[in-house]
């Protein structure tokens, strides 16, 4: 049976080598894999950008996947008006399901604007969008990739909304995340150039990068400073002022996700100096201690309960090592306070 028709599937091999996984990706990105829409590329991006949200047993929720999926398409379809299906460049009438879903919401809710960030959408409307996108797109995408990989990448059940990554694939995704994102973007850009008019295809690299936009981090800043008494720069120890910054301990450009357990408060000087580098490894212990404090002093704060569900200290260490493997410079330390 063709993969996209499947309701469920189990991964078919106990062990996979890196060469075998690369071969599967080569097939997905080849002309042998049929791509009438960009859904496969968005699904791969959603998996990779959620890879550190996978739980200890290898499960990733459909809600995580399709929240990211919806966010990416919100910008590509609504803000940039990019076609996502091979319906002919001049065929403006025929649209993909994802385009129809978003156009319907724009017409239904006057409060929605084409220039609005996904984050700014009313929470109830956003949940509606994610649920409809999930129901409409999950069958065509999850089963299709399962079929393209010969049932090797993951097990899934559409009715139960369960996806479990093969342990070797999970390790591979973490190890090569940054490289895989670049390869996926390259193939996605080629597809978008093919199905969109030339004038709409300008700056596709920037548009795809923008589609995973950093959130407004004010709520995290306030939590760390006011609720958890993080009043000194995490790195240099200076007393924090109003110019304090929420810093991704593991750089955002690698994790492409916003979670409290990866946030620290820093002074603007340290934030600017560190940039997209990894702090000296000794700081990992300090972050783990901060996370222990947050968990034990959370007083049922919703955002802590939600974001620490899949947290484990080993996750930080793994992320650090994966980022280093992907070429991120490690060993940054702050300048002396007297410098």
Kindly state whether residues 158 and 28 are assigned to the same domain: yes
279, part of any domain:
yes
Q: Domain boundary residue among 190, 210, 230?
A: 210
Domain count, the chain: 2
C-alpha angle 178-182-185 in degrees, rounded to nearest 5: 135
Q: Phi and psi dihedrals of 29, rounded to 5? A: -90, 5
Kindly state whether residues 30 and 46 are assigned to the same domain: yes
232, part of any domain:
yes
Kindly state whether residues 232 and 199 are assigned to the same domain: no
Kindly state whether residues 88 and 104 are assigned to the same domain: yes
Distances (CA, A) of 98 to 66, 70, 252: 12, 9, 27
Kindly state whether residues 37 and 88 are assigned to the same domain: yes
Kindly state whether residues 47 and 146 are assigned to the same domain: yes
Average pLDDT, the chain: 91
Per residue in 294-333, pLDDT (tens digit) is: 999 988 899 999 899 889 999 999 999 999 999 999 999 9
336, part of any domain:
no
Kindly state whether residues 277 and 185 are assigned to the same domain: no
331, part of any domain:
no
Residue with tokens 């996209």: 4
168, part of any domain:
yes
Kindly state whether residues 72 and 193 are assigned to the same domain: yes
Q: Crossing angle for the helix pair 123-148 and 18-28, nearest 10 degrees?
A: 110
Per residue in 12-22, pLDDT (tens digit) is: 899 999 999 99
136, part of any domain:
yes
Token pair in block for residue 204:
């596709």
Torsion angle defined by CA atoms of residues 337, 253, 318 and 64, in that order, rounded to the nearest 10 degrees: 130
Q: Domain boundary residue among 160, 175, 210?
A: 210
Kindly state whether residues 173 and 234 are assigned to the same domain: no
330, part of any domain:
no
Kindly state whether residues 193 and 123 are assigned to the same domain: yes
Residue with tokens 């993909």: 96
20-52 exposure pattern, b = at least 16 Cβ within 10 A, e = fewer: bbeebbeebbeeebebebbbbbbbbbbbbbbbb
38, part of any domain:
yes
Kindly state whether residues 173 and 241 are assigned to the same domain: no
CB 143, CB 137: distance < 8 Å: no
Kindly state whether residues 74 and 187 are assigned to the same domain: yes
Residue with tokens 């899949």: 310
pLDDT in tens, the chain (339 residues): 477 788 899 998 999 999 999 999 999 998 888 788 999 999 999 999 999 999 989 999 999 999 999 999 999 999 999 999 986 545 555 889 999 999 999 999 999 998 898 989 999 999 999 999 999 888 889 999 999 999 999 999 999 999 999 999 999 999 999 999 999 999 999 999 999 988 777 888 888 887 876 678 999 999 999 999 999 999 999 999 988 999 999 999 999 889 999 999 999 999 999 999 999 999 999 999 999 999 999 888 999 998 998 899 999 999 999 999 999 999 999 986 544
Domain range spanning residue 315? 218-325
Token pair in block for residue 110:
């006057």
| Alpha carbon distance 72, 311 (integer Å) | 24
What is the pTM assigned to this prediction? 0.87
């Amino acid at each position: 049976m063709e993969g996209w028709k499947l309701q469920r599937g189990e991964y078919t091999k106990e062990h996979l080598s890196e060469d075998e996984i690369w071969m599967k990706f080569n097939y997905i990105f080849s002309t042998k894999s049929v791509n009438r829409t960009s859904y496969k590329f968005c699904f791969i991006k959603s998996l990779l950008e959620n890879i550190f949200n996978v739980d200890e047993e290898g499960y990733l929720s459909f809600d995580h996947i399709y929240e990211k999926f919806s966010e990416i398409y919100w910008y590509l379809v609504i803000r940039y008006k990019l076609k996502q299906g091979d319906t002919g460049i001049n065929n403006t009438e025929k649209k993909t399901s994802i385009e129809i879903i978003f156009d319907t919401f724009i017409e239904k809710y006057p409060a929605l604007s084409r220039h609005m960030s996904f984050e700014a959408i009313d929470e109830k409307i956003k949940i509606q969008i994610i649920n409809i996108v999930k129901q409409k797109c999950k069958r065509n995408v999850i089963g299709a990739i399962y079929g393209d990989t010969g049932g090797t990448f993951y097990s899934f059940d559409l009715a139960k909304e369960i996806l479990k990554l093969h342990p070797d694939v999970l390790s591979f995704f973490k190890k090569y995340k940054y490289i895989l994102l670049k390869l996926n973007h390259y193939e996605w850009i080629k597809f978008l150039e093919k199905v969109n008019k030339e004038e709409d295809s300008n700056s596709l690299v920037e548009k795809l990068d923008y589609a995973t936009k950093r959130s407004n981090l004010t709520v995290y800043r306030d939590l760390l400073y006011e609720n958890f008494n993080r009043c000194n720069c995490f790195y240099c120890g200076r007393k924090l002022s109003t110019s304090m910054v929420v810093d991704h301990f593991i750089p955002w450009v690698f994790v492409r996700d916003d979670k409290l357990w990866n946030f620290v408060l820093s002074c603007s000087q340290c934030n600017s100096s560190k940039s997209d580098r990894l702090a000296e490894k000794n700081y990992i212990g300090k972050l783990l201690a901060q996370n222990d404090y947050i968990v034990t002093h959370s007083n049922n704060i919703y955002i802590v309960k939600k974001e620490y569900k899949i947290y484990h200290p080993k996750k930080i260490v793994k992320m650090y090592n994966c980022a280093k493997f992907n070429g991120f410079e490690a060993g940054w330390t702050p300048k002396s306070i007297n410098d």
